[in-house]
Structure 1
């Protein structure tokens, strides 16, 4: 057994990002997935379907950083590679585990060059560095958006572990944004709104365009800080890193931390009143004008053409 991967899941469901993580981890060897949850069974059943998964291990425990870290620590000695997503959970858990195991982690990996050679972004994504990890055990996090998802159709066995994991922390509440839009981190089309949208009501126009295109909706940090959009919509260095086929940036000037989060986008379409803004300059296509005039016209034209999901 070579690779232990922490499953990425939320609200009782496996995240689409996990299939991408499996594809990355499979380059290092056979993958075992660890699911830590209060009700891990349905999550494990979905994880077992991913191609490349050798087995799924479940631990029934509260989903706190402490219990997840303790579960990983109990299993780490069996594996050469212990891996997770470079998500909020991974950023919380992996440093804790690194301190316990006295291992230097390699984080935010976007390419695997060999058994111990990895590529990761530095300087807010403006450069890439190659890292060689000569430790006996590798502690790694992958940027899920940098990898294509693994196929499905597998039927890996599921093992239940009775680990005595405790936590001093107690889960109190989860504050979620209800949405039927695709997952932001793995969506093929993403529409992002900036502070220029002006209000939470203004963002409803962005959401309407998103529903028309079947796209995920995101926001800049400034828009989130202003209260126009929920925190889990934030795109950028301190939010979610995305790599869609198409990114539509509406009213976004292009601060460095936001640009760091969208560098994986294959095509960028910008709508802005400022032709000199940084994001307009790097966009593949730019439309200069008032978003409150352009977006309703764009939605109407898409609906006229029958493009409505």
Structure 2
């Protein structure tokens, strides 16, 4: 029996998402913060041998007293099946109060499969938790807030990044290894991985400053000017759906309902109209500055500061002013 259960405190399993650098994602740290109202956070680290040892201290800093390490080369050689298998066994063996998974593309699949495997209820886009198990969900592109509670099985919750500020709660961590088994002979295998070369800018989901482009950026020259502004600010580059479809940015730069939800201190929206689908990914930004040539663009009603003007003129001037002040 887990020590926390023996003491009368239920465990809450949090699947740790890791960045390309092997660090816990912001969504993981947020989830470790949020689940404290339900019980004792227990991080689950799944990956190649040695993965858990590298992140245990960081997870413990945010309240994970126990780190359950499921480590095997099989986890990188297969899709999500083995991960679901480890979590399902942990649910059966430890009877946690809930399982929380970062709500990325892979995380949602893991959570959905786990819910089916364990006969449990599943909620996605969770942005808050209450002590009685009630979850606050963001729905309809962030325009609606829903209160919901799982009543069947072990609640499986997909936590939406950018929902709160992670709060440290340092504890000593104990790493406990758990077995990893393949789910069956039909499990799909990964035959090749293509790693996107790292750039010089911060990761979009973690960046404290984001400069985002939209339909109003017309051509390569204006986009190059936006890149110079981002470099002057040390910012990540995001994009609206229109900018991605135009080929200025890859799909990984998409900000919004179907892309990344960002939580920067500063968000600079360049040539972005302010559609609800895009804005649902920006709601947690601290300060928003909008640049648009249309004075009636909806973005100005959402921004803290607005500049009405041509992108080709305003953006280079902003870059020059920032560079001069930092000189």
Q: CA deviation at 1:274?
A: 0.9
> 2:82 corresponds to which residue?
67
Distance 1:304 1:12 in 2: 33
Q: Aligned-pair distance for 1:198?
A: 3.3
Aligned residues: 307
TM-score by length of 2: 0.86
Q: 2:126: which partner in 1? A: 109
Aligned to 2:64: 53
Query: 2:223 is paired with a residue of what secondary structure?
Result: helix
Cα displacement string for residues 167-192 of structure 1 (whole angstroms, at most 9, x for unaligned residues): 32325213425223233223332211
Structure 2 distance, partners of 1:199, 1:68, is 44
Larger mean CA deviation between 150-159 and 117-126 belongs to 150-159
Point out the structure with max Rg over C-alpha. Answer: 2
Distance 1:301 1:10, change over 3 A: same
Shift of 1:224: 1.6
Q: Does 1:197 align with 2:209?
A: no
Unpaired segments ≥5 residues, structure 1:
none
The answer to whether 1:90 aligns with 2:107 is: yes
Question: What is the TM-score normalised by the length of structure 1?
Answer: 0.90
The whole-number CA distance in structure 2 between the counterparts of 1:99 and 1:136 is 10
Query: Distance between the aligned counterparts of 1:246 and 1:229, measured in 2?
Result: 20
Within a 5 Å distance, the mapping from 1:275-294 to structure 2 comes to 275-294=295-314
Structure 1 position 71, deviation (Å): 1.6
1:280, 1:267 → 2: CA distance?
13
Aligned partner of 1:243 in structure 2 is 263
Contact 2:121–2:154 at 8 Å: present in 1 too? no
1:262 aligns with: 282
**Partner residue in 2 for 1:20:** 30
Aligned match of 1:137 in 154, 173, 184? 154
Larger CA deviation: 91-100 vs 55-64 = 55-64
- Which secondary structure does the structure 1 equivalent of 2:301 belong to? helix
- Deviates most, 266-275 or 47-56: 47-56
Instruction: Provide runs of 4+ in structure 1 moved above 6 Å.
Output: none
Once residues 191 and 48 of structure 2 are traced to their aligned partners in structure 1, the CA distance between those partners, rounded to angstroms, is: 11
CA–CA separation in structure 1 for the residues paired with 2:250 and 2:169: 32
* 1:34 lines up with 2:44 in the alignment: yes
- Unpaired stretches in structure 2, ≥5 consecutive residues: 1-9
